[in-house]
Amino acid sequence: MPIRFLKPGETHELRRTVLRPQQPVEEMEWSMDRAEGSFHVGFEEQGELVCIASFLKERNDRLRGWAQYRLRGMAVPPSHQRHGFGRRVLLFGLEHARHMKADLVWCNAREGAVTFYARAGFVAEGTPFAIEGIGLHQLMYLRL
Ligand SMILES: CC(C)(COP(=O)(O)OP(=O)(O)OC[C@H]1O[C@@H](n2cnc3c(N)ncnc32)[C@H](O)[C@@H]1OP(=O)(O)O)[C@@H](O)C(=O)NCCC(=O)NCCS
Protein backbone atom coordinates (compact mmCIF):
# COMPACT_ATOMS: atom_id res chain seq x y z
CA MET A 1 0.00 0.00 0.00
CA PRO A 2 1.71 3.23 -1.07
CA ILE A 3 -0.22 5.34 1.45
CA ARG A 4 0.76 4.77 5.07
CA PHE A 5 0.93 6.49 8.43
CA LEU A 6 4.29 8.12 9.15
CA LYS A 7 6.27 8.71 12.30
CA PRO A 8 6.56 12.48 12.93
CA GLY A 9 10.27 12.47 12.11
CA GLU A 10 9.64 11.01 8.65
CA THR A 11 8.00 14.28 7.57
CA HIS A 12 11.01 16.48 8.31
CA GLU A 13 12.94 16.15 5.07
CA LEU A 14 10.02 16.97 2.74
CA ARG A 15 8.78 19.71 5.06
CA ARG A 16 12.13 21.36 4.72
CA THR A 17 12.82 20.85 1.01
CA VAL A 18 9.30 21.72 -0.23
CA LEU A 19 7.96 24.15 2.40
CA ARG A 20 10.78 25.69 4.45
CA PRO A 21 14.05 25.52 2.46
CA GLN A 22 15.39 28.52 4.39
CA GLN A 23 15.20 26.68 7.74
CA PRO A 24 17.42 23.90 9.11
CA VAL A 25 15.95 20.41 9.36
CA GLU A 26 16.16 20.61 13.18
CA GLU A 27 13.32 23.18 13.08
CA MET A 28 10.95 20.86 11.23
CA GLU A 29 9.51 19.38 14.43
CA TRP A 30 6.27 21.29 15.21
CA SER A 31 4.63 21.68 18.61
CA MET A 32 1.54 19.50 18.04
CA ASP A 33 3.31 16.79 16.00
CA ARG A 34 3.29 14.33 18.88
CA ALA A 35 0.07 15.47 20.62
CA GLU A 36 -2.39 12.71 21.41
CA GLY A 37 -4.58 12.10 18.35
CA SER A 38 -2.26 13.84 15.86
CA PHE A 39 -1.28 11.68 12.88
CA HIS A 40 0.87 11.92 9.77
CA VAL A 41 0.28 10.40 6.35
CA GLY A 42 2.54 9.84 3.37
CA PHE A 43 2.59 8.38 -0.13
CA GLU A 44 5.59 6.27 -1.02
CA GLU A 45 6.76 5.50 -4.54
CA GLN A 46 9.65 3.09 -5.03
CA GLY A 47 10.67 3.56 -1.43
CA GLU A 48 10.69 7.34 -1.67
CA LEU A 49 8.19 9.65 0.04
CA VAL A 50 6.50 11.79 -2.62
CA CYS A 51 3.76 13.35 -0.50
CA ILE A 52 3.25 14.11 3.19
CA ALA A 53 0.48 15.63 5.27
CA SER A 54 0.02 16.10 9.01
CA PHE A 55 -3.30 16.18 10.84
CA LEU A 56 -2.64 17.89 14.15
CA LYS A 57 -4.95 18.13 17.16
CA GLU A 58 -5.15 21.89 17.11
CA ARG A 59 -8.34 23.89 17.42
CA ASN A 60 -9.11 27.17 15.69
CA ASP A 61 -11.40 29.38 17.82
CA ARG A 62 -12.71 31.16 14.74
CA LEU A 63 -14.43 27.97 13.63
CA ARG A 64 -17.31 26.03 15.15
CA GLY A 65 -16.75 22.44 16.20
CA TRP A 66 -14.74 20.95 19.03
CA ALA A 67 -13.19 17.90 17.45
CA GLN A 68 -11.03 19.79 14.99
CA TYR A 69 -7.89 18.79 13.14
CA ARG A 70 -5.40 21.22 11.68
CA LEU A 71 -4.03 20.04 8.34
CA ARG A 72 -0.42 21.17 8.17
CA GLY A 73 2.76 20.48 6.21
CA MET A 74 1.02 19.19 3.06
CA ALA A 75 3.84 18.81 0.55
CA VAL A 76 4.68 17.16 -2.76
CA PRO A 77 8.11 17.76 -4.34
CA PRO A 78 7.93 19.79 -7.60
CA SER A 79 8.90 16.74 -9.68
CA HIS A 80 5.75 14.91 -8.50
CA GLN A 81 3.18 17.71 -8.28
CA ARG A 82 -0.11 17.55 -10.21
CA HIS A 83 -0.07 13.75 -10.43
CA GLY A 84 -2.83 13.20 -7.90
CA PHE A 85 -0.59 12.30 -4.93
CA GLY A 86 -1.77 15.28 -2.90
CA ARG A 87 -5.42 14.47 -3.37
CA ARG A 88 -4.98 10.79 -2.49
CA VAL A 89 -3.11 11.58 0.72
CA LEU A 90 -5.61 14.29 1.65
CA LEU A 91 -8.60 11.97 1.13
CA PHE A 92 -6.92 9.21 3.14
CA GLY A 93 -6.27 11.64 6.00
CA LEU A 94 -9.80 13.03 5.91
CA GLU A 95 -11.19 9.49 6.10
CA HIS A 96 -9.07 8.76 9.15
CA ALA A 97 -10.09 12.08 10.74
CA ARG A 98 -13.73 11.01 10.28
CA HIS A 99 -12.91 7.67 11.84
CA MET A 100 -11.43 9.60 14.80
CA LYS A 101 -14.82 11.37 15.13
CA ALA A 102 -13.50 14.76 14.04
CA ASP A 103 -16.13 17.27 12.92
CA LEU A 104 -13.89 19.72 11.05
CA VAL A 105 -10.48 19.98 9.37
CA TRP A 106 -8.91 23.40 8.83
CA CYS A 107 -5.70 24.76 7.36
CA ASN A 108 -3.90 27.98 6.60
CA ALA A 109 -3.59 27.45 2.86
CA ARG A 110 -0.75 29.04 0.94
CA GLU A 111 -2.01 31.28 -1.84
CA GLY A 112 -0.83 28.80 -4.50
CA ALA A 113 -2.61 25.87 -2.85
CA VAL A 114 -6.08 27.42 -2.34
CA THR A 115 -7.46 25.80 -5.52
CA PHE A 116 -6.10 22.41 -4.47
CA TYR A 117 -8.03 22.57 -1.18
CA ALA A 118 -11.13 24.05 -2.85
CA ARG A 119 -11.16 21.05 -5.23
CA ALA A 120 -11.43 18.82 -2.17
CA GLY A 121 -14.38 20.81 -0.81
CA PHE A 122 -12.61 23.20 1.57
CA VAL A 123 -14.15 26.65 1.87
CA ALA A 124 -12.44 29.95 2.67
CA GLU A 125 -13.09 31.84 5.91
CA GLY A 126 -12.21 35.53 6.16
CA THR A 127 -9.65 37.37 4.09
CA PRO A 128 -6.08 36.38 3.14
CA PHE A 129 -3.31 37.26 5.58
CA ALA A 130 0.48 37.36 5.33
CA ILE A 131 2.87 35.05 7.19
CA GLU A 132 6.28 36.63 7.28
CA GLY A 133 8.86 34.95 5.09
CA ILE A 134 6.31 32.66 3.40
CA GLY A 135 3.58 34.83 1.85
CA LEU A 136 -0.20 35.13 1.69
CA HIS A 137 -2.37 32.50 3.34
CA GLN A 138 -6.10 31.82 3.48
CA LEU A 139 -7.90 30.12 6.37
CA MET A 140 -9.91 27.24 4.87
CA TYR A 141 -11.97 24.47 6.42
CA LEU A 142 -13.97 21.38 5.59
CA ARG A 143 -16.84 20.09 7.72
CA LEU A 144 -16.79 16.31 8.00
C1 LIG B 1 -0.45 21.91 -3.17
C2 LIG B 1 0.02 20.46 -3.31
C3 LIG B 1 0.03 19.78 -1.95
C4 LIG B 1 -1.01 19.73 -4.22
O5 LIG B 1 -0.62 18.39 -4.40
P6 LIG B 1 -0.58 17.76 -5.87
O7 LIG B 1 -0.24 16.32 -5.75
O8 LIG B 1 0.30 18.60 -6.72
O9 LIG B 1 -2.10 17.96 -6.33
P10 LIG B 1 -3.07 16.91 -7.11
O11 LIG B 1 -2.36 16.47 -8.35
O12 LIG B 1 -3.51 15.86 -6.17
O13 LIG B 1 -4.27 17.88 -7.49
C14 LIG B 1 -5.62 17.71 -7.08
C15 LIG B 1 -6.47 18.80 -7.73
O16 LIG B 1 -6.01 20.09 -7.32
C17 LIG B 1 -5.58 20.85 -8.45
N18 LIG B 1 -4.35 21.56 -8.10
C19 LIG B 1 -3.27 21.06 -7.47
N20 LIG B 1 -2.33 22.00 -7.31
C21 LIG B 1 -2.84 23.13 -7.85
C22 LIG B 1 -2.35 24.44 -8.00
N23 LIG B 1 -1.14 24.79 -7.53
N24 LIG B 1 -3.13 25.36 -8.64
C25 LIG B 1 -4.35 25.01 -9.11
N26 LIG B 1 -4.88 23.78 -8.99
C27 LIG B 1 -4.13 22.85 -8.36
C28 LIG B 1 -5.30 19.83 -9.53
O29 LIG B 1 -5.43 20.40 -10.82
C30 LIG B 1 -6.38 18.79 -9.26
O31 LIG B 1 -7.60 19.28 -9.75
P32 LIG B 1 -8.76 18.36 -10.40
O33 LIG B 1 -9.76 18.20 -9.31
O34 LIG B 1 -9.26 19.17 -11.52
O35 LIG B 1 -8.13 17.07 -10.83
C36 LIG B 1 1.40 20.36 -3.97
O37 LIG B 1 1.34 20.88 -5.27
C38 LIG B 1 2.52 21.08 -3.20
O39 LIG B 1 3.13 20.49 -2.32
N40 LIG B 1 2.79 22.35 -3.54
C41 LIG B 1 3.90 23.11 -2.93
C42 LIG B 1 3.79 23.24 -1.42
C43 LIG B 1 2.46 23.79 -0.95
O44 LIG B 1 2.00 24.84 -1.37
N45 LIG B 1 1.84 23.03 -0.03
C46 LIG B 1 0.58 23.44 0.57
C47 LIG B 1 0.86 24.26 1.78
S48 LIG B 1 -0.62 24.97 2.44
pLDDT tens by residue, 72-122: 999 999 999 999 999 999 999 999 999 999 999 999 999 999 999 999 999
Q: Give 74 Cα–ligand 1 centroid separation in angstroms.
A: 10
Host domain of residue 103:
3-143
Q: What CATH number is attached to the domain comprising 35?
A: 3.40.630.30
What distance in Å separates the CA atoms of residue 71 and residue 117, rounded to the nearest whole number?
A: 11
Q: Summarize pLDDT for 13-49 with one digit per residue, the tens.
A: 999 999 999 999 999 999 999 999 999 999 999 999 9
Whether 1 shows a pLDDT value over 70: the answer reads no
**Separation of alpha carbons 40 and 38, rounded Å:** 7
Pocket test for ligand 1, best of 51, 56, 82 (most atoms within 8 A of CB): 82
Give the number of domains in the chain.
Answer: 1
Q: Looking at ligand 1, which atom is closest to the CA of residue 89?
A: 12
Nearest CA owner, ligand 1 atom 48: 109
Q: Name the residue at shortest CA distance from atom 14 of ligand 1.
A: 87
pLDDT at 133 over 90: no
